[in-house]
């Protein structure tokens, strides 16, 4: 079975839709106004405000295209499809890093939603890919850039996201 280009939770999909709406309805208008003002300054050959506004416009249009592409080809995981029997996208996993004797907890998400600062781990990260499909009590060897570590899965649950 081929893996889809992107896997998103339902909430991740909604966040992307909200960002897309903001970019299209607010940011595009702001940039258009900046370009209009910069054009009023005249000579474009030495108009840094115009260059900056056009660069910003390019960044926004690129992000819009990226989000539209992601949403068009994403597999969406509904909350009712999430099982707590095994580690999977949408589950929150508490595990023990046996080498550091440290308990950690992460919500498993697709790559586009990953944000370690918010405890969201990608299913394609070294730890994420190693623990996917495992159950509570399993001890998993994980190949990391720093060497092999062992992780014991302590808990798998579904949480309501922020």
Architecture of the domain delimited by 82-158: Roll (3.10)
List helix spans (H) across the chain. 10-22, 28-39, 48-73, 126-131
Q: What is the C-alpha separation between 78 and 84, in angstroms, rounded?
A: 14
Count of Cβ atoms closer than 10 Å to residue 76 Cβ: 16
Predicted TM-score (pTM) of the model is 0.72
Distance CA 76, CA 21 (A): 19
Q: Does 24 score more than 50 pLDDT?
A: yes
Distance from the Cα of residue 44 to its chain's centroid: 38
Q: What is the pLDDT of residues 92-114, one digit of tens each?
A: 999 999 989 999 999 999 888 89
* Residues contacting 62, CB < 8 A, separation 6+: none
Q: What percent of the chain has pLDDT over 90?
A: 60
Q: What is the pLDDT of residue 1?
A: 42
The per-residue pLDDT of the chain, averaged, comes to 89
Question: pLDDT confidence of 81, banded at 50, 70, 90?
Answer: confident
Strand order in the sheet with 102-109: 120-122, 102-109, 91-97, 147-158, 139-144
pLDDT band at 2 (very low <50, low <70, confident <90, very high): low
pLDDT given for residue 158 in this prediction = 87
| pLDDT tens per residue, range 112-135 | 889 999 999 999 999 999 999 999
DSSP code of 51? H
Inform me whether the pLDDT recorded for 43 exceeds 90.
no
What values do phi and psi take at 23, rounded to 5? -65, -45
Q: Is the pLDDT of residue 157 over 50?
A: yes
Outline which parts of the chain fall under CATH 1.10.287.180: 6-77
- Mean pLDDT throughout 7-32? 92
Where in the chain are all domains bearing CATH 3.10.50.30?
82-158
Which is more confident, 43 or 69?
69
Determine the Cα–Cα distance for residues 35 and 49; give it in Å rounded to an integer.
Answer: 8
Q: What does the pLDDT read at residue 4?
A: 53
Architecture of domain 6-77: Orthogonal Bundle (1.10)
């Amino acid at each position: 079975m081929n893996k889809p280009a992107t896997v998103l939770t339902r909430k991740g999909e909604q966040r992307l839709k909200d960002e897309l709406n903001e970019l299209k309805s607010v940011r595009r208008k702001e940039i258009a106004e900046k370009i209009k003002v910069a054009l009023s300054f005249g000579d474009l050959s030495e108009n840094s405000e115009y260059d900056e506004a056009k660069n910003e416009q390019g960044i926004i249009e690129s992000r819009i295209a990226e989000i539209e592409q992601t949403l068009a080809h994403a597999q969406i995981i509904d909350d009712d499809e999430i099982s707590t029997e095994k580690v999977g996208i949408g589950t929150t996993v508490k595990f023990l890093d046996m080498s550091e004797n440290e308990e950690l907890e992460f919500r498993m998400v697709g790559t586009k939603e990953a944000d370690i600062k918010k405890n969201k781990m990608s299913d394609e990260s070294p730890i994420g890919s190693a623990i996917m499909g495992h159950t509570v009590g399993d001890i998993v060897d994980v190949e990391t850039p720093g060497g092999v570590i062992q992780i014991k899965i302590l808990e798998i649950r579904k949480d309501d996201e922020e």
